[in-house]
Amino acid sequence: MEKRLREIEDLIKEKIPMTSHLAFKLISFENDELKLSCPLKENENHHGTIFGGSLAMASIVSGYSLTFTALEDRLGKDWDDLYQLVIKDFACDYKRPVHSDTVCVSRPETPIFEFVETLLRKGKARLKVKTVISDDEERLACEATYVAYKK
């Protein structure tokens, strides 16, 4: 699984050039839950905390990675030859500054299989993903909607 996550991480960095400026690592994908690490040192601002933009991007990348990986699991490695995946909306609630390395945990609001069934049946589907970013306590709560559609 670790090799596969590195491959997906590399694909995301290739497909979304802005992510090359974000230090992150995909940690795990189990039971439709994706975990991503975001280190302080590489994402630090002048206040000694992780830059808010980096945290927002980490949340978006975590949710996108969850959706991307789930589609690959259910439709095969070449799913993106037939379908496009984009973000529709994003909202984030910054609860406290982040002073250390963090972990993003992304979970779909509805079961992945329903998302994929809708995509196959209608050629378009939406998946709302909730992401929590925490270190020793919850720091951010984010929601994003990802849309897959037939090319």
pLDDT digits (tens, 9 = 90+) for 14-30: 988 888 889 999 999 99
95-136 tens-digit pLDDT: 889 999 999 999 999 999 999 999 999 999 999 999 999 987
Residue 69's pLDDT band, with cuts at 50, 70 and 90, is very high
pTM beyond 0.85: the answer is yes
128: helix, strand or coil: strand
DSSP designation for 112:
H
- Which residue spans within the chain are E strands per DSSP? 25-30, 33-38, 83-94, 102-108, 124-134, 138-150
Are 120 and 94 in contact by the 8 Å Cβ rule? The answer is no
Supply the pLDDT for residue 33.
Answer: 97
**DSSP 3-state of 43:** helix
CATH number at residue 127: 3.10.129.10
Residue 98 Cα distances to 50, 113, 132, angstroms: 6, 34, 13
Q: Count of domains in the chain?
A: 1
Segments forming the whole domain that contains residue 34? 2-150
Structure token digits, residue 59: 């949340």
